[in-house]
Copies of this chain bind each other. A is one copy, B any other.
Amino acid sequence: VAAKLTGNACVGQSGGPSVVINQSVVGVIEEARKHKKEIKSLLGAVHGTKGIMVEKFFELLRIPQSKLDKIAVTPGAALGSVRHKPNEEDCAAMLEIFKKRDIRYFFYIGGDDSAKAAYIIQTMAETSGYEMVVVHVPKTIDNNLMESDHTPGFGSAARFVANAVRGDELDNRSLPGVKVNIIMGRDAGWLTAASMLARQNEGDGPHLIYLPEAPFTPEKFLDDVRRVFAEHKRALVCVSEGIRDPGGKLWAEIAGIRLYEGLKDDAKNLMGKPKKDAFGHFQLSGTGVLADFLTGLISNNTDISRVRGDTHGYLQRSFPGFASKIDQREARAVGRAAVKWAYQGRVGSVAIKRRPSKVYKSFLDLVDLKLVAGLNREVPKEFICPGGNDICPSFRDYCLPLVGGLPETEIFENIE
């Protein structure tokens, strides 16, 4: 692809939003404004690929900086998002619209599915001889993109989770019982692992942490809870929504389907039929079924009287005013870098890498779309304790710089 293509540009957002996804949009806008000679107009695609296919765009280059600065700190996808995996046909249709509108640069902000869409479009453009540059801008609270040290959105979500779990430990210490928290992350447990940052003193919760990466069985879980409760007279448990049985089946799905099928016919209207989302995934978020299943397990099989479950839900990715500063900065930077590289004619996915140094330092790289598209990066084994029920202390060194400091808390030791 020749450098410095002249024409229009397009930017879109995809998948579950984060509190810093708009930093990346603003980064794209800021950098694009510097190249007005080549980039004539920058079109925001409303609701990502959905908007492209119906040509729902609006111009972003003339929006005042004061507004952009506010948009940047606003959670949610300011351009609207979409949950749709475009197939080849969709991508071909989009390419036709890009051609028609002389769009030579396409920036797609999202996770591995968005990288895949970017990859398909880029390949089609090349095949058809249409000169354009597609750059994937990383975004996912799940932190599961290959080739990255971490992803924009993760640090802030991890900060929310660690702080929420710290608060919950203090609450559960006040009124001791078993507390189960369900944390987002279908295929990778990074965000659930971040709950370990809530530990401040010896004996602090979370006392047990379960990720999708380690098989989960109710028997082992009950043993773990009983042991922790016997030792601490309370137990704080963090569980990924994506925990699976040894066969790889999601427990949320097993529990949801068993519960629904366990209902007598005239009671089936009492709960929504377990369903799949737009990606064909079983719906994990926006339901309390996994927490209720796990607390039910404990209530039905132990004599612990206070057992509570919370599903942290959408707050993890949308709570305003609590972002990680480093995450905000990096999310802005990946947007800017995408335009810089595109302007140089370089295609790919922007990845954050970490320098090996005592003080946290990161740098940006542009990696092959193919190496990211549709792939999942799991939490490596060395961060997961052998029993599969906890996270190793070394994870703190990895995660804390991304989260930044947490609000300080203090306790009277005398109440234990």
Residues in chain A within 8 A of chain B (CB atoms): 13, 16-17, 19, 44, 46-47, 58, 63, 67, 70-71, 73-83, 163-164, 166-171, 173-175, 179, 255, 258-259, 261-264, 266-273, 275, 278, 285-289, 291-293, 295-296, 298-300, 305-315, 317-322, 406-412, 414-415
Contacts and interface: CB of A to CB of B under 8 A. Distances in A.
B270 A320 contact: no
20 contacts: A70-B409, A71-B412, A73-B409, A74-B411, A75-B409, A76-B169, A167-B315, A171-B314, A258-B267, A259-B263, A259-B270, A261-B267, A262-B267, A278-B305, A278-B306, A286-B310, A287-B292, A288-B289, A312-B313, A312-B315
A322 B355 CA distance: 33
A319 B163 contact: yes
A167 B319 contact: yes
Copies in the complex: 2
Contacts of A408: 70, 73
Contacts of A267: 258-259, 261-263
A60 B361 CA distance: 44
A408 B67 CA distance: 11
A311 B309 CA distance: 10
A132 to B, nearest CB: 24
Given A270-B293, A292-B289, A315-B312, A74 B170 contact: yes
A295 B286 contact: yes
A370 to B, nearest CB: 27
